Chain A
Amino acid sequence: MIRFEQATKYARTKGIKKPIIEDVSLTMNRGKSVGLLGRNGAGKSTLLRLIAGAIKLDKGRIIRRGKISWPLGFQGSFQGSMTGEQNVRFVARIYGVDTEQLIDYVEDFAELGPFFKAPVGTYSSGMKARLAFGLSMGVNFDYYLVDEITAVGDTNFKKKCQAVFETKLQDSDLIMVSHSTGTIRTYCDCGVVLEKGKLTYYEDIEDAIRAHDKNMKES
């Protein structure tokens, strides 16, 4: 379960103060995957970082029950000067997972070949996405926060993602940001629309998509 209690967060850049979420109270229950919809720049990625706990709220709080992954995006949380393998080792250590097991899993999943032992800075965005995706799937979480990651990569990679997701989703949930409604439909049961600092929860993902489409037309 993830619960927002009067949560408020502002984005500040160069004197401009813009609300991401304003006084939001919302509960997302376990057992349902959530699609997060909103226009460009509404703050969907920031919201994921808030849920993960990588950044803090200005007001209110977020109560988390269960293990939550880091936000899994294609730009990655990787240190460019470290090799793919070193990055995997690092994550294994900070999450207290068996290092060798995780390395084997990721090496097999990401199919980077010799690049696995090259600095991540030399990777293409598709390669980074494969590494990021394989890495997070190798660690067991109750919630996986996914930020547009399936958008990169070729058909093969997408198929692979789908296969892993299907096994993972039996006992984990997804919170997913994507501009592709097709992807959201495939994986998510319910939806949350972020618009003008408000979060609206929809039991049915179709309702969420409809509400989002309506917002887009209005602008």
Chain B
Amino acid sequence: MSHVFTHFRVVGALLVREMSTRFGSKPGGYIWALLDPAAHILLMTFIFRAIARAPALGTSFALFFATGYIAFQFYQAMTSYLNSAVRANRALLSYPNVAPIDTVVARFVLQVGTTTLVAFIVLGTIVATMRVDTSLHWPAILEAVAMACVCGLGVAMINSVLFLKYPLYEQVFNIVNRPLFLISGVFFLPDSIPAPYHDLVLLNPLVHMIMGFRQGFYPEYRAIGLDMEYLYGFAFLTLFAGMLVFTFSSKTLRNE
């Protein structure tokens, strides 16, 4: 039992440490966590309003991009922050009661909290200021968010180990991961992609996640090709692989 309490205490301590070093050092602090995605969505809204006449769904450009971008962030911000969780806290691992997994759990909690807060503020503002009434379908939203988090956690656990073991892999991962934003359906609907590429796009589990998330905001959206089982399977398989790699690499993580 005392073991469990130690983990709780350590995660709590790491949480405070992460908050103070992540945002505490910059002027404005935590505000940036909010301002950054809001600015992104605003910029994208302006650009696309200039090129296209109407968004692919509904009438609001802002809502269309915000739903895509924030759903994507639940995965993307998670991995990019958690990939370095162990590395950034390495010195603290010399305390015997700090375990590598504690650093991951602390960052996970902080990131889920931050993105959720951003989602509430950004999406809440957009929905509240829209002329058309939007009815939210919460189960779809929560399902998509949960899968994005599970998937992000799994990928980050795998990366924490592999980045330390194979520096080359880190370069490759970053190159592959970068265009993910473009092909995950943040600013297009996979339904509109012509035949041979349509199936290819649907191989990306994040596409399904974003489709699921949008279904929660657009009741009229039919999301052709959405396969929640595929998403679930991928997310939990990733998490399982991550836990496996993480457990069997404690030596790499502890820098022995």
Which A residues form the contact surface with B (CB < 8 A)?
12, 49, 52-56, 68, 70-71, 76-82, 86, 89-91, 93-96
Given A77-B95, A82-B17, A86-B17, A54 contacting B254 (CB threshold 8 A): yes
Name the A residues within 8 Å of B250 (CB-CB).
56
Name the A residues within 8 Å of B17 (CB-CB).
79, 82, 86, 90
Is A93 a contact of B13 with CB atoms below 8 Å? Answer: yes
| 7 A–B contacts from the bound complex (CB under 8 Å) | A54-B94, A55-B251, A55-B254, A78-B91, A86-B17, A90-B92, A94-B98
Name the B residues within 8 Å of A80 (CB-CB).
91
Which B residues form the contact surface with A (CB < 8 A)?
6, 9-10, 12-14, 16-17, 20-21, 25, 89, 91-98, 250-251, 254, 256
- Closest chain-A Cβ to B62's Cβ sits at a distance in Å of 37
The distance in angstroms between the C-alpha atoms of A82 and B12, with both chains bound, is 16
Give the secondary structure class of B's interface.
Answer: helix
Of B25, B98, B256, the residue contacting A55 (CB under 8 A) is B256
Name the B residues within 8 Å of A89 (CB-CB).
13, 16
Smallest Cβ-Cβ distance to B102: which chain A residue: A94
Is A79 a contact of B96 with CB atoms below 8 Å? Answer: no
Name the A residues within 8 Å of B16 (CB-CB).
89-90, 93
Is A94 a contact of B94 with CB atoms below 8 Å? Answer: no
Of A53, A77, A93, A95, the residue contacting B91 (CB under 8 A) is A77
Name the B residues within 8 Å of A81 (CB-CB).
21, 25
Name the A residues within 8 Å of B93 (CB-CB).
54
Of A68, A71, A94, the residue contacting B10 (CB under 8 A) is A94
Smallest Cβ-Cβ distance to B95: which chain A residue: A70
- In the complex, besides A55-B256, A79-B89, 4 extra interface pairs with C-beta distance below 8 angstroms are A52-B96, A78-B91, A82-B17, A96-B9
Of B12, B14, B21, B95, the residue contacting A54 (CB under 8 A) is B95
Is B96 a contact of A70 with CB atoms below 8 Å? Answer: yes
The distance in angstroms between the C-alpha atoms of A67 and B256, with both chains bound, is 23
Is B13 a contact of A90 with CB atoms below 8 Å? Answer: yes
Is B96 a contact of A93 with CB atoms below 8 Å? Answer: no
7 tightest A-B contacts by CB? A93-B13, A77-B94, A53-B96, A54-B96, A52-B96, A79-B91, A70-B95
Name the A residues within 8 Å of B91 (CB-CB).
76-80
The distance in angstroms between the C-alpha atoms of A40 and B14, with both chains bound, is 35
Smallest Cβ-Cβ distance to A52: which chain B residue: B96
- Closest chain-A Cβ to B20's Cβ sits at a distance in Å of 6
- Closest chain-A Cβ to B184's Cβ sits at a distance in Å of 33
Name the B residues within 8 Å of A54 (CB-CB).
93-96, 254
- Closest chain-B Cβ to A185's Cβ sits at a distance in Å of 28
Q: Which of A12, A78, A93 has the most CB of B within 10 A?
A: A93
Is B12 a contact of A93 with CB atoms below 8 Å? Answer: yes
Name the B residues within 8 Å of A90 (CB-CB).
13-14, 16-17, 92
Name the B residues within 8 Å of A71 (CB-CB).
94
Given A70-B94, A70-B96, A79-B89, A94 contacting B13 (CB threshold 8 A): yes
The distance in angstroms between the C-alpha atoms of A56 and B254, with both chains bound, is 10
Smallest Cβ-Cβ distance to A120: which chain B residue: B91
Smallest Cβ-Cβ distance to B93: which chain A residue: A54
- Closest chain-B Cβ to A54's Cβ sits at a distance in Å of 5
Smallest Cβ-Cβ distance to B256: which chain A residue: A55
Name the A residues within 8 Å of B9 (CB-CB).
93-94, 96
The distance in angstroms between the C-alpha atoms of A12 and B89, with both chains bound, is 23
Name the A residues within 8 Å of B20 (CB-CB).
82, 86
- Closest chain-B Cβ to A59's Cβ sits at a distance in Å of 14
- Closest chain-A Cβ to B85's Cβ sits at a distance in Å of 13
Name the B residues within 8 Å of A96 (CB-CB).
9
Given A79-B91, A80-B91, A90-B92, A95 contacting B97 (CB threshold 8 A): yes
